[in-house]
Amino acid sequence: MQEGRYMSSIEGNSFIKNHFHGPAVYFVREINNNSGFLYLSDNFNQFGYEAHTVSNDHATYSKIVHQDDCSVISTTINKAISNKQNQYSIEYRIITKKGEIRYISEYGNVYYSGVDPVNIEGYFLDCTYVKNLENKATEWEQGFQELVGTSLAGIYIIQNETYVYVNDRLAGIFGYESKELIGEPADKIAVPKERKKVFQNLRKRLEGEKIAPYTMKGLHKKGYQIEVQVMASLIIYQGSPAVIGTVVDLQGSKEVFQRLKMSEAILENTIEGVVVTDSGGNIEWVNPAFTDITGYSADEVIGKNPRILKSDRHTKSFYENMWKSIQLEGFWSGEIWNRRKSGEVYPELLTITAIRNQEEQTEYYVSIFNDLTERVKTEEKLEYQKYHDALTGLPNRFLLIDRMAMAMARAKSQKSVFAVLILNIDRFRRINDTLGHLAGDQLIEAFSNRLRQVMREGDTISRLVGDEFAILVNPVTNVNAAVVVAEKILQSLEKPFYVESQEVYMTVSIGIGLFPGDGDNPDQMIMHAEMAMFQAKKFGKNRYRLYSEDMHKETLVRLEMENDIRKGLEQYEFEMYYQPQVQLTTGEIRGAESLMRWKHVVKGQISPGTFIPAAEESGLMVPLGIYTMKQVFAQSKIWKQKGFKEALISFNLSPIQFQQSDLYDQIKWILSETEADPSMLELEITENTAMVDIEYAINSLKQIKKLGIRVAMDDFGTGYSSLALLSRLPVDKLKIDRSFVSGIEKNADKQTIVAAMVGMCQQLGIEVVAEGVEEEVEKNFLLKVGCDMIQGYYYSPAVPADRFENMMKNRMFVDTNRFFS
């Protein structure tokens, strides 16, 4: 029977069963043998017997019950079952172990499954005192106060339907003090619907009728209901008839039992380990989670001391302080390292609580602990991630700064020197965009490993961000030692890297800062070394530079320029000028090249030769390029609406912007936003830009041409492209660089080269424009060799949009038009 199995579970649990207290003895009877018990609560020991010696032992039980009352018990229970009753009550006698006769009042509940009885649970109470009082009413009054005042049951005396006596136990059940109930009517503690029954039962008892114990709903002082069992007997109190009885809090007893059942279920299934030891520290009980965490079974630890889990990681004073806290405060909580059965030492969060009796003596210690292994691993992982780069495992900026701070303190005390090197991979963005981000990550890892091979074990290699690294070289003897390190790094990169079966060469630009001298704190030193690194890039990359004060001043100027460019973009200080491209044979304007000009609100006109390099260094070329396209595309639409449909406007893109993987999408989006006609637009890229990655250039230009935009190659002749490569590029126009035009009338080699270029383009069907034409003789030579168009000061410098518009209205130039300023 399931209930029986559960009672057995409780009976075997010393920690739980010893905590079942109360005036009533809880029992479970066997349904097929109602003369015996399956379970008795431990307070049955008030009769001199251990509960477990009576449960399931019919022979012992038959000796305890008075032989004249055995049939009364069987008859009453069988009658209740045959009549399908849910409740019954019996009064019978038992014989204690000392041979004394005690009167018992039993109240039972029969539980059914359908029509079949499955279980009997209930309570019984020792009512010997009341019986003796009833039988010897005249003798009762002498010891009454001492008797009932200490009773575990609630006891009352009602006379003339009013409480004349209430003990503290009864008053406490309903939330009152005894004096608050004296003089109150008998139905004071009954719910309204039960009050009539209270008076009916009182009258019946006073009239000599026996009343079986009954249940009713009592009313607590705070307003909630309490289920109680009431028993009443007739006495003579102070010379007059009265009713004396007991009240048992059934709800409290049931809730205690249910809580015990719930507690055991929780303890058995919780993920926290639970250990119960006796006052001597010997283990009495452990839950399954204890076994899961420690590896020890219950059989292996019952009766032993928890010190078998001791890890030896803590000092003697640690444990002394722990037990001092338990003795003084009743508990201790903290993190502790223990040892599993396997020998593994692990961390746990442990709480130890002392369980004390009414005399404040410790009976048990309850220890509850959580395995913190995973939490500690997670914390260690998070701590590692906080100070290390996820891709390479190298220290990150936080850890570098921490180690630099320690190096500074040591250098100050020992009068030593250390160096910080900032490394930036040259053209890594192009490599990343060309090979893909996965290959880029593999290159970063390979580069990190290459650095590890070069550097000493005690030096710190750090990845700051993306393609930028730092190396703390500590100590160094002098500046020459730092330079040697930089040269070793540059030399190590002469060997290629292999990524996805591709051979890749990488170079770095290195900036060097020394302490003391180049900074008072880690951030300042890193900043100064970065300045030196930018100088290395500026002077050709694949080299190193030492920091100097001049670099600092130059950096401040550059930063000021960067801020000015950003503000200039926001405030539309940049304006597009247009330099005409003129048909040589007719003198007509065929189009123009757009050129950016900047009139600073304070500093006035700033040359492109000044702000373009600053924009390239600071990463502002892409915003400038987008600004250019928006302005040019919008202007092109305006001119189309005004009827200048043949005005082909070219725009330049920097090498940085041309290498952007989303260039096609950028152009397509701006075309859509401005509603410009792509057939009136022409993209110019330099020969060197195309030669950086010829395959990328071919594919990108083909995509752009699909949008309807023409393509021109600028500065032709200054790079290293071959005729074969030129034939593969989807180019509509070729622009001969001004270096071949200037002074051409005096240089036979230039004449030969230009004539060859024009002839080559005619063969390929490509238009030719000569740039930088300033003299009549230059124009005449170009006309002679068949050049299609010229651009330069011979006709006009670059002019604002309104002046270029006036030129287009005239369609052809006259002599006075040649000298616009």
pLDDT at 5: 42
Residue 246 tokens, joined:
């007991």
Last residue of a domain, one of 330, 350, 376: 376
Tell me, yes or no, whether 552 lies in a domain. Answer: no
pLDDT at 331: 86
Give counts: helices (H), strands (E), the chain: 33, 31
- Per-chain mean pLDDT for the chain: 86
Could you read off the pLDDT of 513-567 as tens digits, one per residue? 999 989 999 999 999 999 999 989 988 899 999 988 887 777 778 888 899 999 9
- The full DSSP string for 49-106 is S-HHHHTT-HHHHHHHB-TTTHHHHHHHHHHHHHTT-SEEEEEEEEE-TTS-EEEEEE
Averaged pLDDT, 571-580: 95
Tell me, yes or no, whether 680 lies in a domain. Answer: yes
Last residue of a domain, one of 376, 409, 435: 376
Lowest mean pLDDT among 13-22, 199-208, 449-458, 481-490: 13-22
The whole-angstrom separation of Cα 388 and Cα 462 is 8
Check whether residue 146 and residue 227 sit in a common domain: yes
Distance of CA 40 to CAs 56, 119, 122, 775, Å? 10, 14, 10, 123
The single residue listed with the structure tokens 């022409």 is 682
Q: Can you name the residues that pair with 545 across neighbouring β-strands?
A: 511
Asked whether residue 18 carries a pLDDT value surpassing 50, the answer given is no
Check whether residue 451 and residue 593 sit in a common domain: no
Could you read off the pLDDT of 725-750 as tens digits, one per residue? 777 889 999 999 999 999 999 999 99
The whole-angstrom separation of Cα 41 and Cα 260 is 12
Distance of CA 763 to CAs 364, 600, 766, Å? 104, 46, 8
The 3-state DSSP class for residue 656 equals helix
Asked whether residue 140 carries a pLDDT value surpassing 70, the answer given is no
pLDDT band at 180 (very low <50, low <70, confident <90, very high): very high
Residue 378: in which H helix or E strand, if any?
helix 373-387
- The full DSSP string for 306-372 is GGGGB-S-S-HHHHHHHHHHHHHHSEEEEEEEEE-TTS-EEEEEEEEEEEE-TTS-EEEEEEEEEE-
Residue type, 264: E
Check whether residue 624 and residue 727 sit in a common domain: yes
Check whether residue 115 and residue 142 sit in a common domain: no
Compare 585 and 61 and report the one with higher pLDDT: 585
Q: Of 204-218, 277-291, 323-337, 406-420, which one has max mean pLDDT?
A: 406-420
Tell me if the pTM is above 0.85: no
**For the range 460-464, what are the long-range contacts, defined as Cβ-Cβ under 8 Å and sequence gap of 24 or more?**
460/395, 460/399, 460/400, 460/403, 461/394, 461/395, 462/389, 462/394, 462/395, 462/396, 462/397, 462/399, 462/400, 463/389, 463/391, 463/392, 463/394, 463/395, 463/396, 464/396, 464/397, 464/400, 464/422, 464/526
Q: Of 167-171, 365-369, 468-472, which one has max mean pLDDT?
A: 468-472
Check whether residue 735 and residue 621 sit in a common domain: yes
pLDDT band at 718 (very low <50, low <70, confident <90, very high): low
Residue 113: in which H helix or E strand, if any?
strand 101-113
Tell me, yes or no, whether 383 lies in a domain. Answer: no
Could you read off the pLDDT of 356-406 as tens digits, one per residue? 876 788 888 999 899 988 888 888 888 888 899 999 999 999 999 999 999
Check whether residue 588 and residue 726 sit in a common domain: yes
Check whether residue 217 and residue 344 sit in a common domain: no
The whole-angstrom separation of Cα 673 and Cα 681 is 15
- Cβ(511)–Cβ(421) under 8 Å? yes
Domain with 97 in it: 2-126
pLDDT at 86: 83
Check whether residue 457 and residue 367 sit in a common domain: no
The proportion of the chain whose per-residue pLDDT surpasses 90, expressed as a percent, equals: 49
Check whether residue 350 and residue 399 sit in a common domain: no
Last residue of a domain, one of 225, 254, 283: 254
Distance of CA 588 to CAs 578, 580, 609, 702, Å? 15, 10, 30, 29
Tell me, yes or no, whether 553 lies in a domain. Answer: no
| Nearest by Cα to 640 from 808, 404, 430 | 808
pLDDT at 251: 64
Lowest mean pLDDT among 67-71, 147-151, 429-433, 651-655: 147-151
β strands within 130-205, DSSP E: 154-159, 162-166
CATH number of the domain to which 442 belongs: 3.30.70.270
Distance of CA 401 to CAs 325, 485, 517, 781, Å? 42, 20, 17, 65
Check whether residue 734 and residue 809 sit in a common domain: yes
pLDDT band at 10 (very low <50, low <70, confident <90, very high): very low
CATH number of the domain to which 584 belongs: 3.20.20.450
| Nearest by Cα to 624 from 648, 645, 604, 652 | 652
Tell me, yes or no, whether 638 lies in a domain. Answer: yes
CATH number of the domain to which 354 belongs: 3.30.450.20
The whole-angstrom separation of Cα 323 and Cα 339 is 19
Tell me, yes or no, whether 556 lies in a domain. Answer: no
The whole-angstrom separation of Cα 389 and Cα 397 is 9
Distance of CA 146 to CAs 129, 140, 240, Å? 12, 11, 21
pLDDT at 4: 44
> How many domains would you assign to the chain?
5
Check whether residue 625 and residue 483 sit in a common domain: no
Could you read off the pLDDT of 657-671 as tens digits, one per residue? 898 889 999 999 999
pLDDT at 266: 67
Tell me, yes or no, whether 243 lies in a domain. Answer: yes
Could you read off the pLDDT of 150-162 as tens digits, one per residue? 455 788 999 999 9
Averaged pLDDT, 475-487: 93
Check whether residue 668 and residue 774 sit in a common domain: yes
Could you read off the pLDDT of 225-277 as tens digits, one per residue? 888 888 888 887 777 888 888 888 876 655 555 555 666 666 777 888 899 99
